[in-house]
Amino acid sequence: MPPITVVFVGTGLVVWLNALFFLGVGADTKEDSPSPLVSVGWATLIVGLLDLVQATYIMWARPLEDASVPLAGLIVFYGLFFCLLGITEIQGLDLRVVGNLAIAVAIVPLFWWQFFDGGWMFKSILLAWVVAFGAVAATTYGKFQGKALGAILAATAAYTFWTPAIILALGNQIP
């Protein structure tokens, strides 16, 4: 399987954890205990770092004339976002900074559109992430309900991360 599978699985898991938190599943803080968001933050930070390591590995393991540099660049966008989100959740910081970054992470990856010529799934994933990151930005500014964001993130984890990983695990090409 290609190294991007690690990114799909790990990032999908932390998007799922964040989704469940925003949906209120396991989000209540027990007396004299830290917020469950701290645990979500640690997982998010670790996966953000893992994404950055995978981006480096993809460039190292594959020839530069291959598509490794643009692919690694795209992974870095998401890796850095998840590092910031994780630190913000761990420290209980203002999430509006994450929302500000989410706007850039929603829009700039659309410039990878031609990179994915010949395949409809990755293009649809880029569009799904425009919606997801737009919802993140709106939620951090109080313009969108957290539970609605949670539903979007749950669908995003399943479609944009786990579905491609499952397709690859079954030995197929991503369409």
pTM (predicted TM-score): 0.93
What sections of the chain are H helices per DSSP? 4-23, 36-61, 68-91, 96-107, 120-140, 146-156, 163-169
How many domains is the chain built from?
A: 1
Q: Is residue 125 part of a domain?
A: yes
Domain that holds residue 148: 4-169
Q: Is residue 38 part of a domain?
A: yes
Q: Is residue 175 part of a domain?
A: no
Q: Is residue 79 part of a domain?
A: yes
* CATH number of the domain that residue 75 is part of: 1.25.40.600
Q: Is residue 95 part of a domain?
A: yes
Q: Which one, of 80, 82, 64, 73, lies nearest residue 4 by Cα?
A: 73
Q: Is residue 15 part of a domain?
A: yes
Q: Phi/psi zone of residue 50: left (φ > 0), alpha (ψ -120 to 50 degrees), beta? A: alpha
C-alpha triplet 174, 1, 159: angle, nearest 5°: 40
Q: Is residue 130 part of a domain?
A: yes
pLDDT tens digits for the chain (175 residues)? 677 899 999 999 999 999 999 999 998 888 888 899 999 999 999 999 999 999 999 888 776 667 788 899 999 999 999 999 999 999 999 999 999 999 999 999 999 999 999 889 999 999 999 999 999 999 999 999 999 999 999 999 999 999 999 999 999 999 9
